[in-house]
Structure 1
Amino acid sequence: MVSELHASEWLNSDKALSLADFHGRVLVVEVFQMLCPGCVSYGLPQALRIVQTFAREDVAVIGLHSVFEHHAAMTPVSLRAFLHEYHITFPVAVDAPGTGAMPRTMAAWGLEGTPTLLLFDRQGQVRARHFGTVPDMGLGAQIMSLVAERDGAL
């Protein structure tokens, strides 16, 4: 079980969000850094495809910007411009600073790096964790399986 998100601020959202806000829907969390080539080339485009593919009442997507290197370059101001330029409109949490270089949520969740994608079921339980790239077809099947669990469908 993972702890709550520790966000210093939220972008693309008019309020602070928590994992509980997504109960009843499958939640996809894309953990990224804007200067991470794998995040820009694979992780974030995949998150955008998920938003475009699945019904919002079934699947929610949020980002978690977890900076563990190049801290001075990846500020919230830079992140706002990045999100605008890459047309990322889903909510993005800025991971709160930790005690060292590792941000607080990233450390609490035991993440290895970016990109990382986590899938939460409708009850808020982590059901999958992918570090690095994951093929769209396999991920889509995992998401659809979690969506189908509604009302005991599986």
Structure 2
Amino acid sequence: MTAQIGRKAPLLSVSDWVQGEPGNFDQLSDRVVLVEVFQVNCPGCFLYALPQAIDLYQRYFDHGLSVLGVATAFEDFDKNNLENLTRLLEKGEVIGETHRALNQQGKLIADRLPFNIPFPVAMDRLQKREADITQDEIALFINQRVPDFEQQTKPHQLKVWQQVEHYFQSLTYHAETFELFNLQGTPSYILVDKQGLLKDCGFGTHPDLEGKILALLQE
């Protein structure tokens, strides 16, 4: 069952805790929990989302905020994997588009990430797809992302359907936490209150995230 806002947050499904003490929502009761979901091969994650999560962790940990990182993969499985996550956390090595973008903007120091991630980080649990994608899965994917799909012309609907079908066919694995919380891409965040209720999920950059956290800390 997909996680629902306002209901008890399902536990994160991860394969390995690569850094820090393992943690999950049932172990962090009475604390607000921010989960930063990223991919190793995701420039925006390292330019914006992770620095924001680190800043929030450093300023609000003592006030009741726990931050967890989950590295996921919904594409580029040769790059977004446990090996590259381990190299990132242990040596500060970045790869692929992340390296290209940070290097282009002069963000690397000695070809390494200029900051350390201070909170626990895990690898999303990846399961190899065995069964063929169903028509219902394709329809659900489209309806969640193209709200006016039924109003489009038949040729356009067919084009979108074929694109989504091709996308699913290209996926070797599916990431359990990513799909459980119905995330739209990376960077994304998951926000859970002190009672373990799922309060928000967001995709992209969110300058209002601090305000949401402060409101939950004051509850």
> Which TM-score band applies after superposition, normalised by the shorter structure?
0.7 to 0.9
2:125: which partner in 1?
Answer: 96
Report the CA distance between 1:75 and its aligned residue: 2.5
Distance (whole Å) between structure 2 residues aligned to residue 70 and residue 109 of structure 1: 20
1:152 corresponds in structure 2 to: none
**CA drift at 1:98:** 3.0
1:3 maps to: 10
Long gaps (5+) in structure 1? 150-154
Deviations 1:101-138 (A, max 9, x none): 32011111111111101111001111121111111xx2
Match of 1:77 among 79, 83, 86: 83
SS in 2 for 1:30: strand
Other-structure match for 2:209: 139
Query: Which residue in 1 is equivalent to 2:34?
Result: 28
* Structure 1 residue aligned with 2:46: 40
Unaligned runs of at least 5 residues, structure 2: 1-6, 93-114, 130-172
TM-score, scaled to structure 1: 0.87
2:184 and 2:174 map into 1 onto residues whose CA distance is: 10
- How many pairs does the alignment contain? 146
Q: CA deviation at 1:57?
A: 5.1
* Corresponding residue of 2:167: none
Q: Which one has a bigger Cα radius of gyration?
A: 2
Q: Measure, in 1, the Cα distance between the counterparts of 2:202 and 2:187.
A: 8
Give the TM-score normalised by structure 2: 0.62
SS state at 2:195 partner: coil
CA RMSD of the aligned region, Å? 1.5
Higher mean Cα deviation, 31-40 or 85-94?
85-94
Which has the larger displacement, 24-33 or 84-93? 84-93
Do the aligned partners of 2:34 and 2:190 also contact (CA within 8 Å) in 1? yes
Query: For residues 59 and 38 of structure 2, what CA distance do their matches in structure 1 show?
Result: 21
Q: Is the CA contact (8 Å cut-off) linking 1:83 and 1:89 kept in structure 2?
A: no
Which residue of 108, 121, 126 maps to 2:193? 121
Q: Tell me what 1:52 maps to.
A: 58
* 1:118–1:129 CA contact under 8 A, matched in 2: yes
Moved segments of 4+, more than 6 Å: none
Q: Give 1 or 2: higher helix fraction.
A: 2
**Pairing 1:12–2:19 present:** yes
